[in-house]
């Protein structure tokens, strides 16, 4: 019987840049690109780098692509990252920006906002399958970066937990949509609520399921 070895993010990409003289390497990732409601949230995380990576890997043990983690584990690791990272930045692309510019541009806006919050500032960037035009820093776009690079995985956790908390707050204003359960993704329950109650100001009208239903609600 074949078994598949479980892979964990490493510091390989970060250390390659560290050895080139970049001490502050930021990993960036986002949460919420595919949702029908709520903002897209991005995070930039700089982890401590040193010649012996074993201590860093031990300190951030368990950090992985946020989609692979349970909610309690994400919450625990969020606290670890916030406490021990060199710097953390969080940026938000609002529903208005998403509808005005499109989701990709809103994601890049959120990432630039996250970078601006970093202190010390980043010297090089590692991104999950994206590049940021207009940023005069060395950048590397890595496919499935949140599963391969520890700093990108850390950013994915910060972005996901931050966005989930925002959706829990939205649930208080719109309980009939159950944002606390699906976090704005297009689940059957969410689509049924859209049909029954219409779109809220937090729904992305540029996204096809909302746009297709939009004509059903002339009052909006």
First to last CA, the chain: 57
Alpha helices in the chain (DSSP H): 12-19, 54-59, 71-84, 95-101, 103-116, 145-148, 150-173, 179-182, 188-197, 208-214
Q: Is 29 annotated as a binding residue?
A: yes
Q: Is 30 annotated as a binding residue?
A: yes
Residues near 126 by Cβ (< 8 Å), separated by ≥ 6? 13, 14, 17, 25, 26, 27, 28, 139, 140, 142, 145, 149, 151, 152
Q: What are phi and psi of 163, to 5 degrees?
A: -65, -40
Q: Which whole-number Å values give the CA distances from 166 to 31, 117, 124, 170, in the listed order?
A: 12, 19, 29, 6
Q: Is 128 annotated as a binding residue?
A: yes
Binding-site residues from annotation for a divalent metal cation: 29-30, 128
Binding-site residues from annotation: 29-30, 128
């Amino acid at each position: 019987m074949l078994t598949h070895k479980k892979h964990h993010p490493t510091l390989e990409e970060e250390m390659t840049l560290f050895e080139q003289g970049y001490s502050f390497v930021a990993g960036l990732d986002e949460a919420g690109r595919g949702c029908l409601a709520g903002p897209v949230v991005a995070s930039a995380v700089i982890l401590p780098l040193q010649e012996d990576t074993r201590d860093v890997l031990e300190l951030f043990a368990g950090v992985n692509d946020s989609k692979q983690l349970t909610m309690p584990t994400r919450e625990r690791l969020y606290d670890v990252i916030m406490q021990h990272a060199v710097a953390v930045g969080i940026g938000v692309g609002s529903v208005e920006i998403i509808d005005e510019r499109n989701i990709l541009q809103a994601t890049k806006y959120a990432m630039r906002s996250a970078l601006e919050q970093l202190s010390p500032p980043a010297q090089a960037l590692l991104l999950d399958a994206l590049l940021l035009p207009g940023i005069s820093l060395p950048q590397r776009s890595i496919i499935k970066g949140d599963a391969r690079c520890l700093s990108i995985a850390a950013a994915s956790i910060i972005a996901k937990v931050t966005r989930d908390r925002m959706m829990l707050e939205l649930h208080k204003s719109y309980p009939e949509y159950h944002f606390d359960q699906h976090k704005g993704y297009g689940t059957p329950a969410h689509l049924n609520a859209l049909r029954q109650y219409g779109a809220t100001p937090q729904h992305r009208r540029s996204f096809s399921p909302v746009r297709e239903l939009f004509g059903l609600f002339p009052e909006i």
